[in-house]
Structure 1
């Protein structure tokens, strides 16, 4: 037994606590967490769940070569959260937090409460382990993805808080300033991040709410974002969704079955540095406010020129269908370029960016209204890539495209996404072995 394998006591904790809950060795996974008939609510089984709802709800395993929530078919809802470790915490505090989070996430992704006693199975005289708002709900395709920010390895003041500075990936650094940035520090960065995606918004919120409770005393919530209406697809079976500007978004996204593109552009290779990140990726998050009311007053032909695509079908303005490759040399009837060289499609295309591609996994958001009575809405952009350099290159190309008159980048962050947890271990275990 290695130090990363749980003891018998650890694999069956009586309740969720800070004392090293570490139950993945019990076989957390699609089958490993299935409980026998009669296990009851005390075992974390959701109350009142219908057989039909369970059969219709996808269930994704938490363990695996890669973390779920990257190539997983995109769900309809997102709750994203960034955390900072608390002052005075130790290396063991960080390690125990990752164990506890992994244990709870592995259960929730199977439609279970965060612990064996759960929301209603513990003492009535003590706070329950689980908040309970997901009782009766199926797993709803929940995935929980964890990431490590630059400041987890080296604090802003240069302090090596957890003895991890030597393991920091060379490319993991705060993103450079881009033209048009108007970033809110309170909605940017973070030592750790959690991406919870599900087809039911309450299931995604339940995941972040419980993981935040589990972090108490070790990490605090820095900022979070709710998202709805996916703005990309990750499988061929999914239709291309639309963003809040009304255009199809993510037509040429990398799909889950394109193993070569994933290897080339998304997954960190064993030959890359550092070795502990092999099989992982890098996540960039950008909160992009859309000037909805201004955009809505732009004539259709101009909207299409700005994007470079037809609004109805999503076809490039050079002709064809949505999936037709754009022809950037084709002329229109007036003799000009059919696709404007400053359009979003042209500036983002791999052909003009040294073949660079990224896997997009963004969501729409609406956070009410601004002080001026306008919609506080936009795109919560998420992308996975083998190196942050890919995003930086693309964003510099996009920083002068025509669409920038109608958007503002107000939040930002970058995190290293470790490989998936092995059965009997936890996400990020490679940092401590």
Structure 2
């Protein structure tokens, strides 16, 4: 039986959709044709080797949602994933969630679609699903298929995680150039899943904080700095095979062609940062604020020179600068594909903005990529004075859906 708390969780998803509905923003991005449609209004292909929404050029808006599975019936879960896949294939092409849509069914029956996206284009919508470690328990007979890469993240120094906004059995990342389209998609998946899943937590995001294609300009985070300059890009085919996509030999054949997702909600102490001098801000990050160039260099994409000294004989890029501690050269060349978003969730009641970065990173193995990088940052990054990690998620995102006869996670549930 679904608890009152779970029912309220689903209701909150609907309320979020209605509350965001009045906001319409479309970001026209110059994106490469093989990874997107001709404009920000057009659909992104749903079927393919990999799920869309990973290397897809990052859209401007996000609605990320984690779900708890409330049924203990394996067949019901598989049926839900099949229904979700069919709805996602329709929604990402600018169609309504069900065949009868918002107004085409019997008047006495609930509609097949909630209707708030009627008349809106596809807006580059992508829907990406992931499975949390908690799904691989005795309920569904999946204990033997838990990937080693889903090992629990360690407790990092200084983090202040809230369990209520962390974890989850399933996650859905909904990205689009129109916030109403992104929220509409999640709302309809929650509606379809009623009685089988319940919303655990969700996060709205705006203004991408990474570029996932070289055709995109580097965006800025809420600290005002360019973010994700050296991010993995969809054009980096060899690096993507090495650093992003899971392979058969990694130990979980059902994940081949998928990737592992880490999310972190990182709240920024905006008011303190805004009173910090420009020179100190640049030393903390290791780049200049205007161009985004590494300190001591001229252009954003210049190589970082960690050996260079300034006039005072000290390293231009300090030992505890953010870019030094996060750089692949200090972590066995480990890299991430980041596609995070800014967020502002009102204030904390004391007049301080509840704002920051919703960090999203895809990789082949979090144990060898995210974990060592984050440990280095958590232990020494001077930026920690201005940020707090308040939520965390780790999910296995399976390969793409090949055709209309396939569904999200089919290989996981195959006998």
Equivalent residue for 1:9? none
1:296 aligns with 2:302: no
Q: Check the 8 A contact 1:97/1:215 in 2, yes or no.
A: yes
CA distance in 1: counterparts of 2:230 and 2:171, whole angstroms: 27
- The structure with the larger Rg is 1
Could you tell me which of 154, 165, 168 is aligned with 1:187?
165
Mean alpha-carbon deviation: is it higher for 271-280 or for 244-253?
A: 271-280
State the Cα distance separating 1:320 from its structure 2 match.
2.6
Equivalent residue for 1:24? none
Q: Check the 8 A contact 2:163/2:391 in 1, yes or no.
A: yes
Deviations 1:304-343 (A, max 9, x none): 0000000000000031310011100100011111001100
Deviations 1:222-276 (A, max 9, x none): 0000000000001111000000000000000000011011011100012211111
1:408 aligns with 2:388: yes
Q: Check the 8 A contact 2:122/2:181 in 1, yes or no.
A: yes
CA distance in 2: counterparts of 1:308 and 1:251, whole angstroms: 12
1:245 aligns with 2:223: yes
Could you tell me which of 333, 336, 361 is aligned with 1:358?
336
CA distance in 1: counterparts of 2:270 and 2:133, whole angstroms: 33
Equivalent residue for 2:23? none
1:394 aligns with 2:391: no
1:96 aligns with 2:74: no
Give the length in aligned residue pairs: 375
CA distance in 2: counterparts of 1:241 and 1:56, whole angstroms: 17
Q: Check the 8 A contact 1:54/1:138 in 2, yes or no.
A: no
Mean alpha-carbon deviation: is it higher for 419-428 or for 166-175?
A: 166-175
Alignment of 1:47-196 (within 5 A): 57-86=41-70, 88-154=71-137, 160-196=138-174
Mean alpha-carbon deviation: is it higher for 248-257 or for 53-62?
A: 53-62
Q: Check the 8 A contact 1:248/1:311 in 2, yes or no.
A: yes
CA distance in 2: counterparts of 1:255 and 1:170, whole angstroms: 26
Q: Check the 8 A contact 2:212/2:231 in 1, yes or no.
A: yes
Deviations 1:285-304 (A, max 9, x none): 00000000000000000000
Equivalent residue for 1:420? 400
State the Cα distance separating 1:153 from its structure 2 match.
0.3
Deviations 1:176-231 (A, max 9, x none): 11011100000000000000000000000000100011110101000000000000
Question: Unmatched 5+ residue regions in structure 2?
Answer: 1-36
Could you tell me which of 264, 272, 281 is aligned with 2:250?
272
Equivalent residue for 2:236? 258
Q: Check the 8 A contact 1:91/1:161 in 2, yes or no.
A: yes
Stretches (4+) displaced over 3 A: 53-56
CA distance in 2: counterparts of 1:56 and 1:316, whole angstroms: 32
CA distance in 1: counterparts of 2:385 and 2:243, whole angstroms: 29
Equivalent residue for 1:13? none
Equivalent residue for 1:234? 212
SS in 2 for 1:130: coil
* Change in 2 beyond 3 A, CA 1:133/1:346: same
CA distance in 2: counterparts of 1:303 and 1:124, whole angstroms: 59
Q: Check the 8 A contact 1:175/1:413 in 2, yes or no.
A: no
Equivalent residue for 1:305? 283
Deviations 1:86-113 (A, max 9, x none): 0x42100110111011010110000000
CA distance in 2: counterparts of 1:74 and 1:318, whole angstroms: 30
CA distance in 1: counterparts of 2:135 and 2:263, whole angstroms: 17
Q: Check the 8 A contact 1:174/1:413 in 2, yes or no.
A: no
Q: Check the 8 A contact 2:40/2:124 in 1, yes or no.
A: no
Length-normalised TM-score, structure 1: 0.85
* Change in 2 beyond 3 A, CA 1:287/1:430: same
Deviations 1:124-169 (A, max 9, x none): 1211110000001000000000000000002xxxxx1100111110
Deviations 1:24-82 (A, max 9, x none): xxxxxxxxxxxxxxxxxxxxxxxxxxxxx996513111111000000001000000000
CA distance in 1: counterparts of 2:256 and 2:149, whole angstroms: 14
SS in 2 for 1:124: coil
Question: Unmatched 5+ residue regions in structure 1?
Answer: 1-52, 155-159
CA distance in 1: counterparts of 2:362 and 2:42, whole angstroms: 23
